[in-house]
Every structure is written in structure tokens, then in C-alpha cells.
Amino acid sequence: MITLQPITEDIVEDVLELTASENFVAPNSISLAEAYCGLKEALDDGGLYQKHYYAIPYAIVSDQTIVGFLMVGLEDGEDVDAGCDIYWLSRFMIDEAHQKKGYGKSAMLKLIEYLKTSPHGKAVKYFYTSVVPDNCGAAKLYESVGFAKTGDDFYGEDLMKLNF
């Protein structure tokens, strides 16, 4: 069974040791640094960073084994002209030793289920991500859980959207 666990001191080193089989996603060390910096900025601004509220990193865990990493946040939707707050999946990876075992799809379904509960106190209609055009595996995974390509380019990547 897949669970999503916040990154804690107990598991951070395990998350840092995960590696993707391709160079389609930033290293987890960079992602964790970005999450920390965003949270610090939010706290410095009184608890809410106005443009990109902040992203929260999670370990993807199967039973007791950390098999992947993701980072998702509530944003204002301005970058994609959504006209409302959105969820944005900024990082998603399954360790190369654990790929092709169904963990990616299970984790995405678990994440979507969680986001539909309005964990940030706001009902959000859209969930966005972007994918490197050559990353057919990721695009196929996202499409399998309901994302669709919008046809828009997002900093050289294909923008994808899921309606809640």
C-alpha cells in the first residue's frame, strides 16, 4: 500500500538517496532546498507567500520502503492563466530501483484523493503539472490518472491539467 509521508529528519537522507533513471526531474536535494526556501519566505511574510504559497515535499512509501518523492503546492494560478487558485505538482519521481511496479500511478491516485479533500482549506478546481516533451513515460502516467495536455508550452515543457 502506498502512503505519502511528509519529509522529516528521520527520512530525509533516504529521500536524498533516491535517483531517477533519466534526467527529467531536478535532484531531490534541489527540490527540498526549494521547499525550505519557499516555506521560509511564507513564514517571513506572516504565514502566506502570496505568489506561490509554498510547496510541500512528500516521500512516496510502499509499506516501510521509500520508493519515490513528490512536491505539490497551492498556487495562485497566475503562471498558467487559471484565474483561480490551483494545485501544482512541481516534482514527481520514482526511484530507478522501484520503477515499473505501479508505484507511480498509485502515488498519483493517492495524491489526487488527498488534494480533493481541500487540505489547504480551499476548494480548488484544477491540478496542473508540466512534463518534458521527451518524457513519454511521465506523460502517459499523468494521462492515465486524468491529466490532459493543454497544448500550451510552459518554460519548454508541455503543460498538463486535471479538472477536479
Q: What is the pLDDT of residues 5-34, one digit of tens each?
A: 999 999 999 999 999 877 788 889 899 888
Give the pLDDT of residue 53. 62
pLDDT band at 40 (very low <50, low <70, confident <90, very high): low
Overall domain count for the chain: 1
Give the pLDDT of residue 126. 97
Q: Which residues pair with 52 in a beta bridge?
A: 75
Domain residues for the domain of 26 are 2-163
How many CA atoms within 13 Å lie on the side-chain side of 67? 21
Measure the CA–CA gap between 124 and 26, rounded to whole angstroms: 26
The residue assigned the cell 479533500 is 117
CATH code, 118? 3.40.630.30
